[in-house]
Chain A
Amino acid sequence: MPANSVFVNSALVNSVLVANRGEIARRVIRTARRLGVRAVAVYSQADAGLPFVAEADEAVLIGPPPAKDSYLNAEAILAAAKQTQVEAIHPGYGFLAENARFAEQVTDAGLIWVGPPPDAIEQMGDKIKARNLMAAAGVPVAEGSAEPVADEDAAVALADQIGYPVMIKAAAGGGGIGMSVAANEQQLRSGFATARSRAERFFASPAILLERYIARARHVEVQILGLADGRVIALGERDCSVQRRHQKVAEETPSPGVDQSLRERMLAAAVKAGQTVGYLGAGTVECLLDTETGEFVFLEMNTRLQVEHPVTEMVTGIDLVEQQLRVAAGGDVSFDPDAFLAEGCALELRVYAEDPVRFLPRPGTITQWQEPSGPGVRVDAGYAAGNTVTPHYDPLLAKLVVSAADRAGVLARAREAVTGFAVAGLTTNLPFHAELLESAEFCSGNYDTSLVGKLRT
C-alpha cells in the first residue's frame, strides 16, 4: 500500500551521516540511497567488514572497537561529518541518539540533527522529570517518585506509601538496565543499592525512582511523528510484551490487548505527550497496560527511531526514516497526515546472538547466513556470512518482520520464515522464536510481560 506523495514542500536533506552501526545503520542508508540522499557511514575497527560499511556511499573509520572510543565519540563523528561535508546526522537508536548535548553539538556545527529538539530529548531523558511533565499534561502515570529517591530509608518510606511490590529504576536509564522489582523492604534495600551502582556506571547518574509495579501488564507503545508544521500525529501502537530481562524480543501491531476505544485514548495521550515537549520527527511513547484494570500509564518516551519501527511501516506502508529525513529538512511528509490507513497485522522477531534457553550472549563468526524471503517478509540484518559478531556491542543480528492480512496469517508466515532463516557458525535465539510461535499463550494473543518467564520454567 504505497502512501500518496503529494508535497507542497518537498524539502529533503541532500546528504546524511549515520552515527550508528549494524542493522539500523544499514536500514537508514537503504532509505537514503533510495531517495538519492548521499549516505555516509562511520565505523569502528571491529565493524570494517559489515554490510552497512560497504553499502554506504562513503565510510569513515572513527576509532577502535570500544563504543566510547568510536560510536560514542562525538568529536570523531563530527570530524567525519566535516570531512565528508554532509548536511545532516542521523543517530539511529542507542549510542548518542538520546544525548541532548550531542544533538546540540550537531546543530552548533551547522548541521541538521535528524531528531527532536535537544530540549525535548532532555525533558524526556530524565524519567522523573518526564513523569512529572506528563502528569501535569494530563497523561496518566503510575504512582511513584516526583523527585529522586535520596537514600534507602527514603525508598522504604515511599514504598510504604505506594505499596509493594515496587519497581526500582534509574532515572537516566533505558534498555531495562538497572531495573528491578522489590516485593518487600529487604528486597528494596538490596535492590536500591544495586540499582544505584548500575545507574552510576551505565548512565553516569545515580538518581533512582520508584514506581508502583503492575503485576500483570502489557507493554504497549505508540509511534508518533512530529511534523514540520508543528502538528503531532500518531501512527498506531505496537505491543512489546514479549520480553526477557525487561528487554524486548518480539513486537507486534496491532496489540491483541487493545480495542478501538482504548486505542483512541492511548493515541490521544501519546500525541499530547509529544505536543507537551514540542516534538519533531519520529518518537515513541511507551505505556504499561494493566491487564486487570484495563488502564494504561505512561512509562517513558524514546526520543528517536525505535528498534521495532518496521512493524508500523509494514502495516502503514510509510517509510519512517524517509519522514525523518523530510521533517528534519523542514519538508512535508510523503503521505497525507489526515488520511492514512493501517492494514493487516505485523510481527517483528529480534534475532540475537544469544543462546535460546538462558539468553546469554554468544559472540562468534557467521559461516552461513541465509535469510527467508517472500511476500510479507522483511529482514533488516546487520551481518552477513563471513562477519564476526564481537562482544563490544549489543547482540542484535537482525530483525525478521512479517505481515499478513490477519494475525493467524502473520503467525503462519512467521513460522515458515523462522524455519527458512539459516544461520550457522554461532548460536542464535531463532529456536526460541520457533518455540514462541508454538506457544498457546502467545498464539491466543492473550499474554503479558510474564510470557517469556513462563516459557522458561
Chain B
Amino acid sequence: MAEIRAEMVANVWKVVAAEGDSVTDGDTLVILESMKMEIPVLAEGSGTLARLAVAEGDVIQEGDLIAVIE
C-alpha cells in the first residue's frame, strides 16, 4: 500500500483518476495548483486506486493525504 501526500500547500485543480481505477507508476492522479503553477501528482507504484482523499476545489496543506494505492 502506498500513501501519496501533498508536498506543499495547494488548491486541487483537477482530479484525473477515480477510486477503483487501476493505475501504473507515473500516471497522473490529480493536478494541483500553487503559486500560479500546475503540479501533477503522480502514482508512485502500480495497483488499484483504493482511496482518493481530495476533490476539485479543495485547499490542501503540506502532508495532507491525497490518495492511497493498493
Contacts and interface: CB of A to CB of B under 8 A. Distances in A.
Interface in A93-132: none
Nearest to B10: A391
B9 A363 contact: yes
Contacts of B35: 353-354, 361, 363, 391-395
Contacts of A353: 35
A37 B70 CA distance: 63
Contacts of B7: 360
B7 to A, nearest CB: 7
Nearest to B39: A360
Does more than half of chain A's interface fall in helix, strand or loop, or is it mixed? Answer: loop
A30 interface: no
A363 B36 contact: no
A391 B11 contact: yes
The size class of the interface chain A forms with chain B is 10 to 19
Contacts of B9: 363, 390-391
A391 B35 CA distance: 5
Interface string B12-45: 0000000000000000000000111111000000
A196 interface: no
A363 B34 CA distance: 9
Contacts of B34: 361, 363, 391
Interface string A159-186: 0000000000000000101000000000
A362 interface: yes
B49 to A, nearest CB: 22
Contacts of B36: 175, 177, 393-395
B8 interface: yes
Q: Sorted from nearest, which 9 A-B pairs have the closest CB atoms?
A: A361-B35, A391-B34, A395-B35, A361-B34, A391-B9, A394-B36, A363-B9, A361-B37, A394-B35
Interface of B: 7-11, 34-39
Interface of A: 175, 177, 198, 245, 353-354, 360-363, 390-395
